[in-house]
Amino acid sequence: MSALKLKKGASSHSAYNLRPTFSDAEERHTLAVIVDNEPGVLARVIGLFSGRGYNIDSLTVAEVDHTGHTSRITIVTTGTPQIIEQIKAQLGRIVVVHDVHDLTVEGPSVERELALLRVTGTGDKRVEALRLADIFRANVVDSTLDSFVFEITGTSEKVDAFADLMRPLGLEEIARTGVAALSRGT
Amino acid sequence: MTRQMTGAKMVVQALKDQGVDVVFGYPGGAVLPIYDEIFQQNDIRHILVRHEQGAVHAAEGYARSTGKPGVVLVTSGPGATNAVTGLTDALMDSIPLIVLTGQVPTFMIGSDAFQEADTVGITRPCTKHNWLVKETERLAQTIHEAFHVATSGRPGPVLVDIPKDVQFASAKYLEPAQTKTSHYQPQTMGDIDTITELVEALEQAERPIFYTGGGVINSGDEATKLLRELVDATGIPITSTLMGLGCYPASGKNWLGMLGMHGLYEANMAMHDCDLMINIGARFDDRITGRLDAFSPGSQRAHIDIDPSSINKVIRTDFPIVGDVKEVLRQMLGLWKDRGSKINRDAIRNWWGRIDEWKKINCLAFTQSGKTIKPQHAVHRLEELTKGHDRYICTEVGQHQMWAAQYLGFEDPNRWMTSGGLGTMGYGFPASIGVQVAHPESLVINVAGEASWLMNMQEMGTAVQYRLPVKQFILNNERLGMVRQWQELLHGERYSHSWSDALPDFVKLAEAFGAKGIQCSDPADLDDAIMEMLNYDGPVIFDCLVEKHENCFPMIPSGKAHNEMLLGENASTADAIDAGGAVLV
């Protein structure tokens, strides 16, 4: 079959680059969606995911171009290759979406997440928490005599690992931003 | 020229500048300023419906029969929520609509004001796009953009929500040419390399078939013309979905009839056994494919669609072509001619031989006998007596819809208005009103079932008020026929709530509205009664009492494959088994 001579890295407005959809294995993809920053745009994107039963592992959004009023939504999602292609095509046809990039297949990219963790403890636990924070290059952004708030930046895996270590040391509460991602320079 | 005007006046001016000649609507508190402007002009005609759902379906009928977008004007709150079914229907069938809704004043939004609803929130998933306009300065350009979005790419319904203070306030009006170009510009030309591969495959193919859909009709008259040229140039068989009927003439020699759940035997068998399927503007809907893992097992598939998300959604495609049907067909025909392409003549002759065997099954055969009218007979007689008219057919949803699709022949596009994707009972009657408004001199018939028809019967008031001579041809079996059929075949003949015990006297009902009612129950009277309906200059309710337990065949039961059709008792099934089909009778 002449079939699917498909490049990796489909863009939102073309089906020519669709990858073969034979596999049933689920994949994790990071999508960057450039949208008009107007009321309801996030609801459109989230509504698409809930309405069609797609997964959202993480989602971040902020205006990135104040003059052009465009926002960048970074979505981490999982699904079979066919579902991932559908998600991109469905996102691409939302009228206020300018572009959809699949950072997972469009070449190397960097992903970062920021988390704030409040860890309460005294004595050895407090010392150990501070020592581990140093190893993870987490910053102390608030301190009392029996608590710290750490700020950590890194991949989701790094944040997970740090949170796992903090849990027995008195982790009380955690706030995470979700993933922001950008393709690397070429 | 720029002019200062109120938001309400802007709405009317923008509609005029967009070429709108008719609006279907229903007034209310939050749109009174716009209605005041409508009162003071004569360019745009307003059709007062009896329910907002009727307004949206009427606009759909208008849009589908003209190829122009339909326009609806309703009030806030209940006006908007009543429009939701019509919006969803139009989204599923890709019908361009502009729905304007009133909204409570901006300073009251969020206060649970009288007749307030979160209209853009409620309609976000059932429109192609929607806008809440909070400044009069943005109103004109938003309406112009709404027309652009509704009619570009894959068409669909859009909604503009206009708060009442925005209608009262004044601002500078911008004409369409003065508004900034939208970034929404869908791709229309197909990828020439993929089209070339498809043409090469078509030259080699031994059992090719065209599978066409509503996209051909949405692409316009040019697409229909090019499709017919391509079918003539290649001589290969063509079938169509419910939505695409009319894109190729029913009298054409390559026509196989409709495919799908209640499609013709030969069309479904050809889809199952083909080696090259060329999908033009259809979307592999589940009513078409049947069981996916048994769908056309030996074929390569091409898919021409303007919506990239339709491609590879349910069926893997070997030749994905994103583009407007008419552009891609023009590219394809150009290549076919430039290359001096020829089909594989011997193989195609054999292919037609097999198809002719399937046709001998005569899957639509029925026997009219006795004193009861068979519904198929009623539709067949309607076809015979209206053939040759410039005829527009609407339907409701159910068995009658399938019989209409099977037994009526469509020679041209835009003559067939039916709720395909959403399957909206109550669609046909208001749609027929919209069609008649657009084509006042033409014959407009709504083939209906009594249960569907009752869902929007209030629109009789509209038909009578505007002297719209729509013919309501009701196949009355006193049952929810399709529900009853599924209960018989799939739910152990337990007929749970699938009949009406208290139907109205349709003749008296017609008379109560000031229309004409005709009842017919005797096959011997049927032709005369139909002629009486056709000759009457005004709206008619035709109450055709038909066989109550008739089933609609052929039928691919849900979850079965194309070659696992159920056939009616009159089909020549002995031949079918000889022909190698796994026919379940």
Task: State the Cα–Cα distance between residues B168 and B163, nearest whole angstrom.
Answer: 9
The more confidently predicted of residues A1 and B92 is B92
Specify whether the CB–CB gap between B425 and B455 falls below 8 A: yes
Q: Which domains does chain A have, with CATH numbers?
A: 27-102 (3.30.70.260), 109-183 (3.30.70.1150)
B209 φ/ψ sector (left φ>0, alpha ψ -120 to 50, else beta)? beta
Q: Given CB atoms, is B128 within the 8 Å cutoff of chain A?
A: yes
Residues in B touching A39 (Cβ below 8 Å): 132
Beta strand A109-120 with A171-183: parallel, antiparallel or unpaired?
Answer: antiparallel
- From A162, B216, A158, A157, select the one nearest A148 (Cα to Cα): A162
Q: Which residues contact A186 (CB under 8 A, 6 or more apart)?
A: A107
The two tokens of residue B47 are 């059709």
Residues in A touching B129 (Cβ below 8 Å): 94-96
Whole-number pLDDT of residue A5: 33
Q: Given CB atoms, is A44 within the 8 Å cutoff of chain B?
A: yes
Whole-number pLDDT of residue B69: 98
Whole-number pLDDT of residue B563: 87
Question: Which position has the token pair 């005829």?
Answer: B391
Task: State the Cα–Cα distance between residues B216 and B61, nearest whole angstrom.
Answer: 17
Whole-number pLDDT of residue A23: 64
Tell me if A93 and B309 make a contact (CB, 8 A cut-off).
Answer: yes
Residues in A touching B191 (Cβ below 8 Å): 16
Whole-number pLDDT of residue A1: 26
Residues B504-515: pLDDT tens digits?
A: 999 999 999 999
Q: Using H for helix, E for strand and C for coil, what is the string for B454-510?
A: HHCHHHHHHHHHCCCCCEEEEEECCECHHHHHHHHHHCCCCCCCCECCCCCCHHHHH
Specify whether the CB–CB gap between B143 and B18 falls below 8 A: yes
Residues in A touching B94 (Cβ below 8 Å): none
Angle, CA B71 vertex, CA B66 and CA B73 arms, to 5°: 155
Whole-number pLDDT of residue B181: 82
Whole-number pLDDT of residue A22: 55
The two tokens of residue B41 are 């002009």
* Helices A124-135, A156-166: crossing angle, 10 deg rounding: 170
Question: Which one-letter DSSP state was computed for residue A138?
Answer: P
Tell me if A15 and B308 make a contact (CB, 8 A cut-off).
Answer: yes
The amino acid at residue B344 is N
Beta strand A70-79 with A27-36: parallel, antiparallel or unpaired?
Answer: antiparallel
Whole-number pLDDT of residue A9: 39
Q: How far apart are the first and last CA of chain B?
A: 70
Residues of chain B with pLDDT under 50: 575-585
Identity of the residue in A39, A44, A82 whose CB atom sits nearest the CB atom of B312: A82
Task: State the Cα–Cα distance between residues B452 and B304, nearest whole angstrom.
Answer: 34
Q: Look at chain A and count its residues.
A: 186
Q: Given CB atoms, is B251 within the 8 Å cutoff of chain A?
A: no
Whole-number pLDDT of residue B573: 61
ipTM above 0.85, yes or no: yes
Q: Given CB atoms, is A23 within the 8 Å cutoff of chain B?
A: no
Task: State the Cα–Cα distance between residues B247 and B225, nearest whole angstrom.
Answer: 8
Give the burial class of B424: count Cβ atoms within 10 A of its Cβ; 0-12 exposed, 13-18 middle, 19 or more buried: buried
Residues 379-408 of B with CB under 8 A from A: none
Question: Which one-letter DSSP state was computed for residue A141?
Answer: E
A17 to chain B: nearest residue by CA? B320
DSSP H helical ranges for chain A: 41-51, 81-92, 124-135, 156-166
- Average predicted confidence (pLDDT) for chain A: 89
Tell me if B129 and A95 make a contact (CB, 8 A cut-off).
Answer: yes
Phi, psi of A90 (to 5 degrees): -65, -40
Q: Which residues contact B276 (CB under 8 A, 6 or more apart)?
A: B201, B202, B205, B207, B208, B209, B299, B300, B301, B302
Residues B218-260: pLDDT tens digits?
A: 999 999 999 999 999 999 999 999 999 999 999 999 999 999 9
Tell me if A95 and B120 make a contact (CB, 8 A cut-off).
Answer: no
Residues A8-33: pLDDT tens digits?
A: 333 333 344 444 445 678 999 999 99
Residues in B touching A97 (Cβ below 8 Å): none
Q: Given CB atoms, is A14 within the 8 Å cutoff of chain B?
A: yes
Q: From the centroid of its chain, how far is CA B374? A: 26
Question: Which position has the token pair 């699938």?
Answer: B498
